[in-house]
């Protein structure tokens, strides 16, 4: 039995794929060049379309950047939120899974270049900073804080302030992301990112154990 053929003309199938092709091209260029240095005509050229075609889907470069972030990073955060809500894992296992998933899906990929871009150029684009804070930073921090609060409530973590501890946990991961997109391509340093993350998470979980609080 043969699979049903796609009867749409090639040009129509191509048209439906254009937004994704534009987003993929924009992601590559934003990571390679930064926000300020990326031109819409270059995005269109890399996607194989005219600049006019790009404007059919995205009003300006800011809206294109937001779409790239929503399609890639915000989508991952949404999946993590659903996973946490449905999880019956212990809080230590859940925290480990969330931190490793963040690293494997974002930190160890080209998406980490978006974080580097925001840190480098945010002072020049306050509208993008507000957008990124609301849709990425606040929601990402909220994920970790919710797992910490869950662990405290269930007696799996020692009493901590989730809102205070969350940025402390995020900072080492951000450092590794920045290092990966700056020194690692130049073969500078000797950090193994996977070993770094494993050791960091083990250290974090040991510090969160209820008996660690009692021993102190």
pLDDT at 9: 42
| Predicted confidence band of residue 1 (pLDDT cuts 50, 70, 90) | very low
Mean per-residue pLDDT, 91-111: 96
What share of the chain has pLDDT > 90, as a percent?
80
Listed in sequence order, the residues at least 6 apart from 192 whose beta carbon sits closer than 8 Å to its beta carbon are: none
pLDDT tens, position by position, 142-194: 999 999 999 999 999 999 999 999 999 999 999 998 888 777 666 656 788 89
Mean per-residue pLDDT, 128-143: 96
pLDDT at 181: 76
Q: Give the span between the Cα atoms of 115 and 168, in whole angstroms.
A: 17
Listed in sequence order, the residues at least 6 apart from 208 whose beta carbon sits closer than 8 Å to its beta carbon are: 92, 95, 148, 151, 157, 158, 160
CATH, range 10-58: 1.10.10.60
- 61-208 placed in CATH 3.40.50.1970: no
Q: 161-186: string of b/e by CB count within 10 Å (b at 16+)?
A: ebeebbeebbebbeebbbbbbeeeee
| Predicted confidence band of residue 13 (pLDDT cuts 50, 70, 90) | very low
Q: Whole-prediction pTM value?
A: 0.86
pLDDT tens, position by position, 56-93: 999 999 999 999 999 999 999 999 999 999 999 999 99
Which residue matches tokens 């609301």? 134
Contacts 24+ apart (CB under 8 A), 154-162: 154/91, 155/210, 156/90, 156/91, 156/92, 156/210, 157/91, 157/92, 157/208, 157/209, 157/210, 158/208, 158/209, 158/210, 158/212, 158/213, 158/214, 159/213, 160/208
- For the chain, the structural domain boundaries read 10-58, 61-208
| Predicted confidence band of residue 211 (pLDDT cuts 50, 70, 90) | confident
Whether residue 7 is predicted with pLDDT greater than 70 in this model: the reply is no
pLDDT tens, position by position, 15-71: 666 899 999 999 999 999 999 999 999 999 999 999 999 999 999 999 999 999 999
């Amino acid at each position: 039995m043969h699979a049903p053929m796609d009867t749409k003309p090639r040009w129509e199938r191509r048209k439906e794929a254009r937004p994704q092709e534009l987003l993929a091209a924009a992601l590559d260029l934003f990571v390679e060049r930064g926000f300020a240095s990326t031109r819409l005509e270059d995005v269109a050229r890399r996607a194989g379309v005219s600049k006019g075609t790009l404007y059919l889907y995205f009003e300006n470069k800011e809206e294109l950047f937001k779409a790239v972030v929503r399609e890639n990073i915000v989508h991952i955060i949404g999946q993590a939120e659903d996973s946490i809500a449905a999880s019956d894992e212990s809080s230590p296992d859940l925290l480990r899974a969330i931190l490793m998933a963040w690293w494997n899906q974002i930190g160890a990929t080209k998406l980490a270049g978006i974080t580097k871009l925001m840190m480098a150029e945010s002072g020049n684009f306050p509208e993008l900073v507000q957008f990124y804070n609301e849709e990425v930073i606040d929601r990402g921090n909220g994920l970790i804080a919710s797992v910490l609060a869950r662990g405290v409530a269930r007696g799996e973590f020692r009493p901590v302030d989730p809102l205070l501890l969350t940025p402390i946990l995020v900072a080492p991961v951000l450092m590794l992301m920045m290092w990966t997109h700056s020194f690692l391509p130049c073969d500078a340093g000797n950090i193994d990112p996977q070993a770094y993350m494993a050791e960091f998470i083990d250290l974090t979980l040991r510090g969160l154990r209820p008996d660690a609080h009692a021993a102190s």
